[in-house]
Amino acid sequence: MLISPNHKFIFFKPMKCAGSSVEYALAQHCGETALCTGGEGEEIKAGFVHINNLFSEEGEEKWRFHAHTWPGLFFERILSPEDWKDYQKITIVRNPWDAAVSFYWWAIYKMPRDPFVKMMNISPDVFLIQEEDSSLVAQRKFETFLNIVCPLDSIRPEVLKVKCTPLDYFAETNELFIDKCVDYYLRFENLQSDYNELCHKLNLEKSTLPKFKTIQRKLGHHYSYYYSNTCRDAIEMRFPHTIQKFKYRFIKEGTAT
């Protein structure tokens, strides 16, 4: 998440929509008064660090906002919502069938480093789709991953972990970014051109968006490769707001849009 008092906007970053690339690019224009939740790993090495998001309470350092704070949670946590009425609210959307595959690869990459997963004795190999796997095997592994109940990082600050399926966690989080307060949605599918238009609206100099988190996705298959009919329908059921508002459809590889 990024708040810019100088340019009067708030950028809300959903999961797996290239939000870090947009947040980093926008942050270059915002100066020292901004609040930026920053990145992790390779993003920090590239200079994408938090700004004004850390505070001390009773000798303990805490984050003001989670990187994936959605609009409703932001306004729930601040003292004076009316102070932000004249700020432009910005976020990103992505085809949820495609985004869920991106979430899968990100989670597989993170799993070996998660102590809670280790405590549950879950091996990423159970879910890891290999290059030699048939489409049916890949679909089974993907569906197993989406539906296993496991501990996942909570976005709400008062809760450390939530126990649910990855599909429920991802869908429930990203659906909350479809909010009536949002003034401008960038589409992942047209990200650079939409970002250029956003810069024009905000009177910012446009730039080429950087690319982060490109090493996690090990296979180059079209997203439709991963989906059984059951799994395809599950995504449709759990992303009603995103699909209805932006007319997203499940499209098989090689099919005309």
Tens-place pLDDT, residues 179-233: 999 999 999 999 999 999 999 999 999 999 998 866 666 788 999 999 999 999 9
Segment 115-122 mean pLDDT: 58
Concatenated DSSP letters of the chain: -EEETTTTEEE---TTSSHHHHHHHHHTTT-TT-EE----THHHHTT---BS-EEEETTEEEESS-TT--HHHHHHHSS-GGGGTTSEEEEEE--HHHHHHHHHHHHHHHGGG-HHHHHTT--GGGTPPPTT--HHHHHHHHHHHHH--EEEE-SSTT-SEEEE-HHHHHHHHHHTT--TT--EEEEGGGHHHHHHHHHHHHT----PPP--S-SS------GGGG--HHHHHHHHHH-HHHHHHHT-----TT---
Per-residue pLDDT at 250 exceeds 60:
yes
Where residue 7 falls among pLDDT bands split at 50, 70, 90?
Answer: very high
Phi then psi for residue 223, to 5 deg, are -55, -30
CB atoms within 10 A of CB 210: 15
Sheet of 2-4: strand order equals 35-36, 2-4, 9-11, 88-93, 184-187
Residue 143 domain-assigned?
yes
Q: Is residue 62 domain-shared with residue 183, that is, in the same domain?
A: yes
Mean pLDDT, rounded, of the chain:
90
**Which residue type occupies 256?**
A
pTM above 0.75, yes or no: yes
pLDDT for 42 equals 66
The reply to whether 256 falls in a domain is: no
Percent of the chain scored above 70 by pLDDT? 89
- pLDDT tens digit string along 156-167? 988 878 999 999
Phi and psi torsions of 12, nearest 5° = -100, 125
Decide if 116 contacts 161 (C-beta within 8 A). yes
Domain membership flag for residue 208: no
Same domain, 181 and 90: yes
Split into its structural domains, the chain has a count of: 2
Q: What is the pLDDT of residues 29-56, one digit of tens each?
A: 998 999 999 877 666 666 677 888 888 7
Same domain, 111 and 227: yes
The pLDDT of residue 216 is: 65
For residues 223 and 104, membership in a common domain is answered with yes
Pair 130, 23 in one domain: no
Hey, which residues does 186 pair with through a beta bridge?
Answer: 92
The closest of 14, 31, 11, 1 to 201, measured between CA atoms, is: 11
pLDDT at 125: 75
Quote the tokens at residue 254: 């090689």
Same-domain pairing of 219 and 128: yes
Residues 62, 167: one domain? Answer: no
> How many residues make up the chain in this entry?
257
User: If you average pLDDT over residues 59-81, what whole number do you get?
Assistant: 90
Report the pLDDT averaged over residues 243-250: 98
Does residue 49 sit in the same domain as residue 131?
Answer: no
Mean pLDDT of 74-93: 94
**Residue 41: predicted pLDDT:** 67
Can you give the pLDDT at residue 40? 75
Task: Indicate if the pLDDT at residue 117 is higher than 60.
Answer: no
Confidence of residue 168 (pLDDT cuts 50, 70, 90): very high
In a domain, 254, yes or no: no
Structural domain for 110, as ranges: 96-172+215-246
- pLDDT of 17 reads 96
